[in-house]
Chain A
Amino acid sequence: MPSAASPLIIYRDDGLWATANRDRFEGLRVLQWRPSIVPMDPGVDRIDLLEGLPFADGSTPWIHAFHVLEHLDLHEARAFLVECRRVLRPGGRLRVSTPEFAGHLRRYLEGLERARRRPDDPQALTDVEYLRLLVLDQRVRRRSGGRMLDFLRTREVDRELATRALGLTGPFLLDLVRGRDASSASANAASGDAVAARPPRRSLPSRVIGAIRRRLPWPRSRPWWALDCRETRELEITNWDDVSLVRELNGAGFESCVAMSDAESGIERWPDLDRCPRSGSSLERSSIAEGVRP
């Protein structure tokens, strides 16, 4: 088994976080968890978290698992944390970061109050619909992008509200879905799940072959963007907050586990991956906790 002498970064969605951090990944071992059928970010290794980490025991100084835990069910997440503990050196730190679901709920409740106070304000209604979608959609959607994608395409979402709800990722997704910021092709490929529903453009021969194959009864295969979201692990199927993160880190055998903000870290020479390098604001709203391998 190879040893990972450099720190490990594990992430899943190729959204703003990965795009913004591409320069800061130097010297780190970066792994992306994707189903084998979905295309990868360039220059990143694929990993399947359900099969554990392919590294020797006690080989890495620290691990940052960014927004992967919520795509695993509770038992898979527990197995993954134990696996991280195995790969870490004694004294090494694990940092897990997950979407801040409790914050989504708080903002949704505030939005609901505001809409009740101003029943005739269409913007307040749009706001609460957006916030409700943030709470619900990625738990139940069947098709990639879900109702959130339709909503962002057809309705005008307040950029400030999107920033408050999702950090810099909020306006990033708005621009991406509306195609306003076509500045970088990589950002478009790095769309994350929100635009995964948009099929990539294909050449004429491959479209013809596809049309014929779709009419054949066998083999029944579907392109990756049309797969059930549960199979591609796009759904967020566990709920993480400061309490459950610390509980599960403790349960996996980590010590001095604490929840913290995205500005803090106990990792030595932490490259500050969760904030924008220029403005210092959050790339994504997250619940974060760290634990030390004894």
Chain B
Amino acid sequence: MRRLEPVAGREGRRRLHVWRCGDPYFAERAERLREWTCVRFSHWPSSPPGVHHLDLRQPLPFADGVFDDAFTQRVIEHLSPEDAAGFLRELARVLLPGAVLRLSFPDLEEIARAYLAALDAALRDPSDANLVRHEWRSAELFDPLVRTRSGGRMRELILEQRFDIEDLRERFGDAFEIFAGTPAIDRPPPTALRQWLGAIRSPRRLLRMLAGPRRFARDLRARRTVDPRETFESHEWMWDAESARKLLEDAGFGEVRAASWDASAIAGWERFDLDRSRSGVGPWEPATILEAVRR
């Protein structure tokens, strides 16, 4: 297996950042992430400069104990419980003893409470606002788990204009606007023939094809995949603070604590502040955050 070299930041600290959400997340933070080794959880194996696209169900391609800190942003819910346990064990392997792991994930408990509250409100007073809210809470909990098409029910609700923008900003932060701004997520995949013709039309891609034909073919296949379970879009599981704590402890982490979006035990966090939204007043996407120390 090809080993990757970690990026050394200021003071020689090496930090690992893993996320799954879309390109705007990285684009807005590219400057701040210079000091981080960036890994995106993606079924698409090509790597643009600065970001490694990896399948986290496989072992991480780093040597043992090379990182001083790690931050995984909304990743573990896209892995099955077994794969999530394996991923955290891998993180424990690549982290030095005493290193801080910051783990953020959407909280099953919190979403369940929000859904039940919306259900009770809609039963008490079936006004249109309450019904829309109820539909969204139901989708927030259910849809990422069960969707069969990219975007799922949430995208349909946006296209049907059934949403309350203030409510969604509060629930999903910046992620909602990015999500709502990309209406053509599940365009039909190009056929293999069309892709190859397209590839040969562009000289740059023709060169890439000649340089590494097998890898190129694998990339093309990955681009045609739209099943949310294959592209890691859907949630394979959901975690609450208790189950995530147990997951961390089983993988060899200790001193598990809840953290807020704007503070961290990671040294120099003020400089990175990766969870802050565009407007600066809230988190990029609200989530439960735990921090733990590698034993």
Contacts and interface: CB of A to CB of B under 8 A. Distances in A.
Asked if A pairs with B, the answer is yes
Interface string B97-125: 00000000000110011011001001100
A227 interface: no
Contacts of B138: 239, 241, 244
B235 interface: yes
Nearest to A147: B81
Contacts of B40: none
Contacts of A196: none
Interface string A95-108: 00000001001101
Given A112-B242, A241-B119, A135 B235 contact: no
Contact of A115 (B80, B113, B236, B242): B242
Interface stretch (A20-28, A31-39, A186-194, A230-238): A230-238
Contacts of A112: 109, 240, 242
Q: Classify chain B: how many residues form its interface, as a range.
A: 20 to 34
Given A238-B142, A239-B141, A247 B235 contact: no
A243 B109 contact: no
B112 A243 contact: no
A140 interface: yes
Interface string B135-175: 10010011001101000010000000000000000000000
Interface residues of A, number: 28
A86 interface: no
B142 A239 contact: yes
A135 B112 contact: yes
Nearest to A106: B116
A49 interface: no
A140 B235 contact: yes
B17 interface: no
Contacts of A247: 131
Chain B interface, DSSP helix/strand/loop, else mixed: helix
Interface string A195-236: 000000000000000000000000000000000001000011
A136 B145 contact: yes
A237 B148 contact: yes
A132 interface: yes
Interface in B238-253: 238, 240, 242-243
Nearest to B115: A105
A263 interface: no
Given A112-B242, A128-B242, A136-B238, A243 B113 contact: no
B65 interface: no
A139 interface: yes
Interface in A122-136: 128, 132, 135-136
Given A74-B153, A235-B146, A237-B146, A243 B237 contact: no
Given A241-B138, A243-B119, 5 more contacts: A74-B153, A106-B116, A116-B242, A140-B234, A140-B236
24 contacts: A105-B115, A106-B116, A109-B109, A109-B113, A112-B109, A112-B240, A115-B242, A132-B240, A135-B112, A139-B142, A140-B145, A140-B146, A140-B234, A140-B235, A235-B146, A236-B146, A238-B142, A239-B138, A239-B142, A241-B119, A242-B119, A243-B122, A243-B123, A243-B134
Interface of A: 73-74, 102, 105-106, 108-109, 112, 115-116, 128, 132, 135-136, 139-140, 147, 230, 235-239, 241-244, 247
Q: What 9 A-B pairs are tightest by C-beta distance, nearest first? A: A139-B145, A237-B146, A239-B142, A105-B112, A243-B122, A239-B138, A139-B146, A140-B145, A243-B134
